[in-house]
Chains A and B, each alone.
Chain A
Amino acid sequence: MREFWRRYRMNRAAVGGLVVVVLIAALAVVGPFVHDVDPFEMMGRPYSPPFGEFLLGTDVSGRDILAGIIRGAPVSLLIGVVASLAATLIGVALGAVAGYYGGFIDDALMRTTEFFLTIPSFILAVVIVAIFSPTVVTITAAIAAVSWPSVARLVRGEFIAQREREYVQASRAIGMPDWEIILLQILPNALAPVIVVSTLMVATAILTESGLSFLGLGDPNHVSWGYMIGVARTALRVAWWMTAIPGLMIVIAVIAINLAGEGLNDALNPKLRER
């Protein structure tokens, strides 16, 4: 663990990314207490520019943009993390079974996976959310449902590479049942790239959620950064900051998570360990 942290620290960009992620998380947790304003409440004159009465200005309906940014942070982060976790769980389960057993099971599971991969994932997410009414839960589920195939393929590849290794044979030779070999023996050896991919998936999930909200498929009871951009797009030419501020937040969050993920990759990738 200490060794891991030492290697992670060598990548300065990754440390920066991690710091930013922690800051955004802090904003999501502490923000509502410091700046307790309802993001759906009309607070002042619409179209006020930033650094006036309101720190980040107001939107087309006179709602406080800073409140929206603060209340949107936990929604974006939570949807991103939970969707990515769910997708990882599904992907690991299917990929492990397919890779370990091979043969017909592998064929069946991988054709299903490829079926999902051939459909543009964002369109599929739109369809799922449109069918089930948009709530935080359905949005999370929709994002997970379109994200798991890449994890499944990755895990399957890792399992195929690991299953011929002698320690797997040795595990079988002491009479270990298959599920124990999969969960306790092979999975820990295959986990490093999975952790990296699911971290990067958090960023993708945040983008997908923003896209859905932008299209009006967000949860109407929760403000989110994508929703704010969607509302402000009609005023793009007169009040650019209304779209730019939440847009910048999305960009910062996604870049920070990507940098942290890259750092994880460097720290966990055994091929780079020798440096």
Chain B
Amino acid sequence: MSALLSVRDLSVHFPTRQGVVRAVEEVSFDIEAGETVALVGESGSGKSTVAAAIMRIIPSPPGIIAGGEILFEGRDLVKLPESEMRQVRGSRVAMIFQDPMMALNPVHSIGAQIVEALMLHTALSRRQALDRAVELLELVRVPAPATRVRQYPHNLSGGMRQRAMIAMALACDPRLLVADEPTTALDVTIQAQVLELIGELQARLGMAVLLITHDLGVVGEIADRVVVMYGGRKVEEGRVEEVFRAPLHPYARGLMRVSDWEGGTGLALPEIPGTVPSPFAMPAGCSFAPRCDVAIEACASRKPLLVVRGPARSAECLLLEDPPR
């Protein structure tokens, strides 16, 4: 069975005056219908760029999809003409953004924005679309939807705004929902509610979710599989249980150590020393080598190969290569 979405060797480059920034480099992963895949990594690892590439909304210039393909329902989104891509966006693949305050237009009411999404892809009349918008707000559990539908983004709380954003994304019953850090801008108490909502709607509507986040707690709760990114590359992929229990890549191990730490145990918070290398000065070898606690000499000079350990289980590290050099 072929996957709903299949990203193959995707590379996204931002040519600048100081040199080409390889924001995403040869990233591959699949999403099956109805599945939740989490894309994790720290700031600057290229995870949001992958999302933008799938929607084909990378600002161009400066960004370009330099290579690879994004197969969605058998079509390569990279090669799709803009007019056909517009048909895909919003109706087959929808996206929710990090900050609902920024992602909703301040001058239009919530209802008008959902209606807009509906009218673009369905034959509904404005009247019907408005009724549907109220239904959608009810679906995402916004209280008093008939009133809210006429209100503006600034009248709503952060959690309500994100719900409205989700309602807008679900308007045309997409097969894939790309959620770019949907809870980062929300209060901790609201985060859980919104995640629960996404999980529940997914089960009910049978759509797949690509969840982009740096919150591993979130991943453990709702994701089926994890793709770990570092420095624009996929460094590890696997089922959530596998990656959490036995991470293969030293970076993933570091992440798990950090997330396992519990306050109050008296132990210092473990951390991964250093920061993501500058995109203009990527190391010649493994991009994680300068921060890696188990790096060997060869790591600095040779790019590691992707080592496959079973179906949809892989990591990119020299130490895993057989025989290790």
Contacts and interface: CB of A to CB of B under 8 A. Distances in A.
A200 B176 CA distance: 50
B84 to A, nearest CB: 10
A167 B103 contact: yes
Nearest to A102: B61
B97 A171 contact: no
Interface range on chain A (Cβ under 8 Å from partner): 10 to 19
Given A164-B59, A170-B95, A189-B107, A175 B90 contact: yes
Contact of B103 (A170, A176, A184, A189): A170
A174 B116 contact: yes
Contacts of A172: 55, 57, 89
A167 B89 contact: no
Given A164-B59, A188-B107, A173 B94 contact: yes
B57 A174 contact: no
Interface range on chain B (Cβ under 8 Å from partner): 20 to 34
A167 B154 CA distance: 14
Given A172-B57, A174-B116, A167 B87 contact: no
A167 B104 contact: yes
27 contacts: A102-B61, A164-B59, A166-B97, A166-B99, A166-B102, A167-B104, A169-B52, A169-B57, A170-B95, A170-B168, A173-B57, A173-B95, A174-B89, A174-B90, A174-B116, A174-B117, A174-B171, A175-B85, A175-B87, A175-B90, A175-B91, A175-B121, A176-B116, A176-B120, A177-B86, A185-B108, A189-B106
Nearest to A187: B107
Contacts, number: 68
Interface string B53-73: 001010101000000000000
A157 B115 CA distance: 29
A9 interface: no
B105 interface: yes
Interface of A: 102-103, 164-167, 169-177, 184-185, 188-189
Contacts of B256: none
Task: Give the 8 A-B CB pairs with smallest separation, nearest first.
Answer: A174-B90, A175-B90, A175-B89, A166-B102, A173-B95, A188-B107, A166-B103, A170-B103
B162 to A, nearest CB: 12
Nearest to A189: B107
A174 B99 CA distance: 16
B319 interface: no
A173 B89 contact: yes
Interface string B237-248: 000000000000
A144 to B, nearest CB: 27
Given A176-B86, A176-B120, 20 more contacts: A164-B59, A166-B97, A167-B104, A167-B106, A169-B57, A170-B97, A170-B165, A172-B55, A173-B89, A173-B90, A174-B89, A174-B94, A174-B169, A174-B171, A175-B88, A175-B89, A176-B116, A184-B116, A185-B108, A189-B107
Contacts of A164: 59
